[in-house]
């Protein structure tokens, strides 16, 4: 029986769906994570504790285990594991993306430089180092601009600034977010020109350097700042056919410019009329539980498609189902402690809604973007058209009653 190493960071949402896909394929699994406690979801599967913060060391650990228990594939499911997966697969002689290409996807400045060298349309950009004149660097890209950390994902720490003073305050705030994420002090930031237009996401699979587009998602809620919290993803896209063709072609150009060749990619692009620009591209599939909005062939999950490709199994007849579908990443309306989410049954009863999962437990702290790193939950819908999917998700969200207690003030201890 083939065995796959799934690298499942402790904070991932993806473990149950990837493990279910492996069971469906009859594939043995070894779970790799930075914390042994995070592997309990595997329910007795073989486990491998990896130092994901040190991908080179993690690759050594993968190679050592691979000598004892051969792997047919190594799959990193989230950003934190893709470098270890590429290096580990390289050590074992398995199909993989070039590690240097994956590294470019994990460093937004390196990504921008590679796209610029290849002439791929994108925002103007500059790197802001600690101690630099923020206003001067922001002036290089122009206002409004967007301040980003180089390595965080999911729109965390991504903030728009409309003038020099806002840019200064925003940079300080983003450095504070990085400090909370335990990034090195004074880590550089990326400043980009703000691009107008609508945003779309592309889900694709690279096979020997050729991109196969699996889905294009509209993001119907405006993403204009100051924060860029994603909420709705709806597919198929309602963009004109010619613009969609340009979106797909630009995604393929970006993947080639970065040097990626194998496995899933998730891209974010801006569309302003007929002009298409690349915002980001990741060497992994869509995050959170959003993949549950997609089904292929006779109900095959995106995770099974990814594992089939990694294992060299057939992908014939696995085109996306033609029914329109979508997901809402339920936003956190404010900071505090989650008291509860009412109206869930009413939301599930809305026609077209196929699932609702609240992923933060009652009594737990909740932090909205740009400081936060997760959503309140996920809601899924399917219908005959993308318009109907969007209406269902909005109507169901309107049924939810989210109750959050104010943050508990920090206690000052007298000395």
pLDDT band at 247 (very low <50, low <70, confident <90, very high): very high
| Whole-angstrom distance, CA of residue 197 vs CA of residue 270 | 6
pLDDT band at 23 (very low <50, low <70, confident <90, very high): very high
Residue 320: CA count within 13 A, CB half-sphere: 20
Residue 74: its pLDDT value, please? 98
**Model confidence over 165-198: pLDDT tens digits?**
999 999 999 999 999 998 888 899 999 999 999 9
Residue 133: its pLDDT value, please? 96
Average pLDDT of the residues in 8-33: 94
> Could you identify the residue written with the tokens 């290849």?
118
Residues 118, 260 contacting (CB under 8 angstroms)? no
Structure tokens at 412: 């000052």
Structure tokens at 307: 């594992």
Structure tokens at 406: 């104010």
Cα-Cα-Cα-Cα torsion 61, 66, 67, 69, nearest 10 degrees, comes to 120
Examine the pLDDT at 44 and tell me if it is beyond 50: no
Examine the pLDDT at 9 and tell me if it is beyond 70: yes
Structure tokens at 24: 């469906």
Residue 11: its pLDDT value, please? 86
Examine the pLDDT at 410 and tell me if it is beyond 90: no
Q: Return the beta strands (E) in 289-368 as ranges.
A: 324-330, 336-342, 353-358, 365-366
| Whole-angstrom distance, CA of residue 54 vs CA of residue 34 | 10
Residues 217, 233 contacting (CB under 8 angstroms)? yes
Q: Reduce the DSSP state of residue 307 to 3 states and report it.
A: helix
| Whole-angstrom distance, CA of residue 172 vs CA of residue 175 | 5
Residues 173, 158 contacting (CB under 8 angstroms)? no
Structure tokens at 21: 């896909």
> Could you identify the residue written with the tokens 């998730």?
266
Q: Reduce the DSSP state of residue 129 to 3 states and report it.
A: coil
Give helix then strand counts, H and E, for the chain. Answer: 11, 19
Examine the pLDDT at 407 and tell me if it is beyond 90: no
Residue 317: its pLDDT value, please? 75
CA distances 344 to 177, 234, 331, Å, are 32, 21, 15
Does an H or E element contain 7, and which? strand 3-7
Examine the pLDDT at 42 and tell me if it is beyond 80: no
| Whole-angstrom distance, CA of residue 112 vs CA of residue 385 | 36
| Whole-angstrom distance, CA of residue 368 vs CA of residue 118 | 36
| Whole-angstrom distance, CA of residue 211 vs CA of residue 170 | 37
Residues 287, 121 contacting (CB under 8 angstroms)? no
Helices (H), 93-120: 99-105, 108-117
Fill in the DSSP letter of residue 409: P
Domains recognised in the chain with CATH numbers: 3-103 (3.40.50.20), 124-193 (3.30.1490.20), 196-282 (3.30.470.20), 323-415 (3.90.1170.50)
Q: Please count the residues of the chain.
A: 415
Residue 37: its pLDDT value, please? 46
Residues 6+ apart with CB under 8 A from 154: 287, 373, 374
pLDDT band at 266 (very low <50, low <70, confident <90, very high): very high
Structure tokens at 320: 């996306």
- The residues facing 329 across adjacent strands are 378
Residue 415: its pLDDT value, please? 41
| Whole-angstrom distance, CA of residue 123 vs CA of residue 268 | 12
**Model confidence over 59-105: pLDDT tens digits?**
999 999 999 999 999 999 999 999 999 999 999 999 999 999 999 99
| Whole-angstrom distance, CA of residue 250 vs CA of residue 361 | 40
Residues 77, 7 contacting (CB under 8 angstroms)? yes
State the average pLDDT for the chain: 94
Residues 6+ apart with CB under 8 A from 11: 78, 80, 373, 374
Q: Tell whether the torsion through CA atoms of 17, 18, 21 and 27 is positive or negative.
A: negative
Examine the pLDDT at 413 and tell me if it is beyond 80: no
CA distances 146 to 172, 226, 292, 414, Å, are 13, 9, 30, 42
Residue 285 CB-density burial (10 A; 0-12 exposed, 13-18 middle, 19+ buried): buried
**Model confidence over 106-157: pLDDT tens digits?**
999 999 999 999 999 999 999 999 999 999 999 999 999 999 999 988 899 9
Neighbours of 273 (CB within 10 A): 9
């Amino acid at each position: 029986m083939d065995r796959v190493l799934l690298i499942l960071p402790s904070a991932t949402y993806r473990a149950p769906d990837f493990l279910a896909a492996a069971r469906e394929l009859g594939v043995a699994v070894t779970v790799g994570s930075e914390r042994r406690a995070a592997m309990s979801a595997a329910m007795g599967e073989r486990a491998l504790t990896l130092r994901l913060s040190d991908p080179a060391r993690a690759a050594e650990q993968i190679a050592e285990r691979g000598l004892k228990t051969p792997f047919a594939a190594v799959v990193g499911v989230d950003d934190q594991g893709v470098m270890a997966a590429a290096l580990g697969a390289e050590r074992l002689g398995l199909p993989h993306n070039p590690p240097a290409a994956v590294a470019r996807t994990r460093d937004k400045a390196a990504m921008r430089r590679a796209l610029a060298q290849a002439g791929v349309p994108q925002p103007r950009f500059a790197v802001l180092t600690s101690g630099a004149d923020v206003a001067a660097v922001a002036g290089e890209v122009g206002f409004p601009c967007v301040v980003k950390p180089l390595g965080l994902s999911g729109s965390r720490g991504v903030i728009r600034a409309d003038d020099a003073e806002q840019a200064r305050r925003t940079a300080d705030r983003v450095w504070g977010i990085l400090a909370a994420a335990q990034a090195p002090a004074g880590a550089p930031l990326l400043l980009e020109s703000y691009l107008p237009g609508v945003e779309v996401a592309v889900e694709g699979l690279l096979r020997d350097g050729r991109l196969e587009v699996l889905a294009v998602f509209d993001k119907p809620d405006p993403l204009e700042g100051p924060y860029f919290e994603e909420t709705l993803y709806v597919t198929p896209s309602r963009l004109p056919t010619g613009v969609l063709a340009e979106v797909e072609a630009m995604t393929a150009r970006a993947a080639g410019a970065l040097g990626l060749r194998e496995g899933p990619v998730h891209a974010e692009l801006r569309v302003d009329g007929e002009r298409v620009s690349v915002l980001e591209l990741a060497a992994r599939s869509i995050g959170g539980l959003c993949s549950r909005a997609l089904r292929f062939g006779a109900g095959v999950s995106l995770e099974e498609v990814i594992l089939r490709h990694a294992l060299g199994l057939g992908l014939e007849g696995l085109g996306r189902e033609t029914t329109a579908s979508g997901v809402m990443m339920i936003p956190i309306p404010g900071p505090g402690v989650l008291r509860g989410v009412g109206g869930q049954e009413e939301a599930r009863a809305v026609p077209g809604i196929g699932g609702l999962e609240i992923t933060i437990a009652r009594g737990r702290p909740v932090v909205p973007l740009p400081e936060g790193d997760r959503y309140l939950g996920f809601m899924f819908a399917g219908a005959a058209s993308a318009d109907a999917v969007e209406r269902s998700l909005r109507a169901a969200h309107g049924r939810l009653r989210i109750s959050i207690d104010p943050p508990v003030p920090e206690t000052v201890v007298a000395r």
